[in-house]
């Protein structure tokens, strides 16, 4: 059975781009007689605002969606720790104390998620306190061999996790990184079709590698096009895209809005980036 999900982070209100993403995931599940899940990705304790989860549920209901909710990330910390421990035992994680600024200054390339970590701490032997843990991607790929994954829209892909460099899996300031938590969760939730925006396309290279290392089932992916502003940048609340909570409270009809988004009729100035 097809199982899709919408996995918002409660660090800001949902906007039209989130609505579109949730509708795509919801409708794919419904069209295939499957299940649609909501997962609150509140791994980032410092930035998470727990009260937003209730707003998200109200927004989705207002759009006319129905879902099953799976445990939030804050309820699954031991799973992430166990996954990291397995990778550590395989000798694939190493501690890193570099700050973001240090990584940016030392980086020789820029990848899909910004400066690519140049491996500064890869051969250190001490385990300093307050370190993040990075995945040794070259060593991990040697262990798994070449990997493939399938995007419903873009077709078969060769996994190229090296594009993102040695990503952080356990953060200094949070229990786990997005990459580790989302991969472990999608497996725990039985997700068969990971539905999300194309901005996370490159992250999938890393997720596919983690699945191979941890022996997790391999879903398919559906990275949909993003809603963009006239300047081509993706919608963001901070640039004035209205929050769904605002539209809902202003008395707009959520089901009408959802149907407009389904039919690719967007408010003035907003379009779907098909590039
Ligand atoms: N929590 C992520 C976000 O809000 C989405 C993660 C995902 O769909 O894999 O951007």
Q: Which burial class, exposed, middle or buried, applies to 219 when counting CB atoms under 10 A from its CB (0-12, 13-18, 19+)?
A: buried
Pair (82, 174) in one structural domain: yes
Q: Is residue 148 in some structural domain?
A: yes
Give CA separation, 10 vs 62, 80, 262, in Å. 18, 19, 24
Pair (15, 103) in one structural domain: no
211 lines ligand 1 (CB under 6 A): no
Q: At what angle do helices 203-214 and 137-144 cross, to 10 degrees?
A: 60
Q: Which of 15, 28, 177, 182 to mutate to test the pocket of ligand 1 (most atoms within 8 A of CB)?
A: 182
pLDDT tens, residue by residue, 219-235: 999 999 999 988 888 88
C-alpha 140 – ligand 1 centre gap (Å) = 24
| Nearest Cα residue to 112 out of 174, 198, 196, 181 | 198
pLDDT tens, residue by residue, 120-149: 999 887 778 889 999 999 999 999 999 999
Active-site positions? 237
Q: Return the bridge partners of 193, or none.
A: 4, 220
SS (HEC) of 98-144: CCHHHHHHHCCCEECCEECCCCCCCCCCCCCCCCEEEECHHHHHHHH
Pair (231, 266) in one structural domain: yes
182 lines ligand 1 (CB under 6 A): yes
Q: Residue written as tokens 């009260």?
A: 51
Decide which of 149, 165, 181 is a domain's last residue.
Answer: 181
Q: Are 34 and 4 in contact (CB under 8 A)?
A: yes
What is the phi-psi region of residue 140: left when phi exceeds 0, alpha when psi lies from -120 to 50, beta otherwise? alpha
Q: Is residue 191 in some structural domain?
A: no
CATH of residue 151's domain is 3.40.50.620
Query: Residue 243's CB: how many other CB atoms inside 10 A?
Result: 17
Alpha helices in the chain (DSSP H): 16-31, 51-62, 77-89, 100-106, 137-144, 178-188, 203-214, 244-249, 254-262
Give strand ranges (E) for 146-236. 148-151, 155-158, 168-170, 193-197, 220-224, 226-228
pLDDT tens, residue by residue, 39-98: 999 998 788 898 999 999 999 999 999 999 999 999 999 999 999 999 999 999 999 999
41 lines ligand 1 (CB under 6 A): yes
C-alpha 184 – ligand 1 centre gap (Å) = 13
Can you give the pLDDT at residue 237? Answer: 65
Q: Whose CA is nearest to atom 7 of ligand 1?
A: 7
C-alpha 85 – ligand 1 centre gap (Å) = 24
pLDDT tens, residue by residue, 144-183: 999 999 999 999 999 999 999 999 999 887 789 999 999 9
Q: Is residue 169 in some structural domain?
A: yes
206 lines ligand 1 (CB under 6 A): no
pLDDT tens, residue by residue, 8-40: 999 999 999 999 999 999 999 999 999 999 999
Q: Which of 42, 48, 178 to mutate to test the pocket of ligand 1 (most atoms within 8 A of CB)?
A: 178
Q: Is residue 192 in some structural domain?
A: no
Q: Which burial class, exposed, middle or buried, applies to 18 when counting CB atoms under 10 A from its CB (0-12, 13-18, 19+)?
A: buried
Q: At what angle do helices 203-214 and 178-188 cross, to 10 degrees?
A: 60
177 lines ligand 1 (CB under 6 A): no
What's the structural domain count of the chain?
2
C-alpha 21 – ligand 1 centre gap (Å) = 10
The domain in which residue 229 lies consists of 3-74+225-273
Q: Is the pLDDT of residue 238 over 70?
A: no
Q: Is residue 10 in some structural domain?
A: yes
Say whether 183 sits in a helix, a strand or coil.
helix
């Amino acid at each position: 059975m097809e199982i899709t999900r919408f996995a918002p982070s409660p660090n800001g209100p949902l906007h039209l781009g989130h609505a579109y993403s949730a509708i795509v995931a919801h409708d794919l599940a419904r069209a295939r007689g499957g299940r649609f899940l909501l997962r609150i990705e509140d791994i980032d304790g410092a930035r998470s605002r727990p009260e937003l989860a209730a707003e998200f549920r109200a927004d989705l209901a207002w759009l006319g969606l129905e879902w099953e909710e799976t445990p939030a990330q804050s309820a699954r910390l031991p799973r992430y720790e166990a996954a990291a421990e397995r990778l550590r035992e395989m000798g694939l994680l190493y501690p890193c104390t570099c700050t973001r600024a240090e990584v940016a200054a030392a980086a020789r390339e820029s990848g899909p998620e910004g400066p690519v970590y140049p491996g500064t701490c890869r051969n250190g032997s001490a385990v300093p306190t307050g370190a993040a843990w990075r995945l040794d991607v070259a060593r991990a790929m040697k262990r798994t061999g070449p990997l493939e994954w399938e995007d419903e829209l873009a077709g078969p892909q060769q996994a190229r996790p090296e594009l993102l460099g040695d990503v952080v899996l356990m953060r200094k300031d949070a229990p786990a990184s997005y990459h580790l938590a989302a991969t472990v969760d999608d497996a725990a939730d039985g997700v068969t079709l990971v539905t999300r925006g194309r901005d996370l396309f490159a992250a999938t290279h890393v997720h596919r590698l983690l699945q191979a290392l941890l022996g997790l089932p391999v879903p398919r992916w559906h990275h949909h096009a993003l809603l963009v502003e006239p300047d081509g940048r993706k919608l963001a609340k901070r640039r004035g895209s209205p929050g769904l909570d605002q539209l809902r409270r202003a008395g707009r009809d959520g089901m009408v809005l959802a149907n407009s988004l389904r039919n690719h009729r967007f408010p003035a100035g907003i379009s779907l980036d098909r590039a």
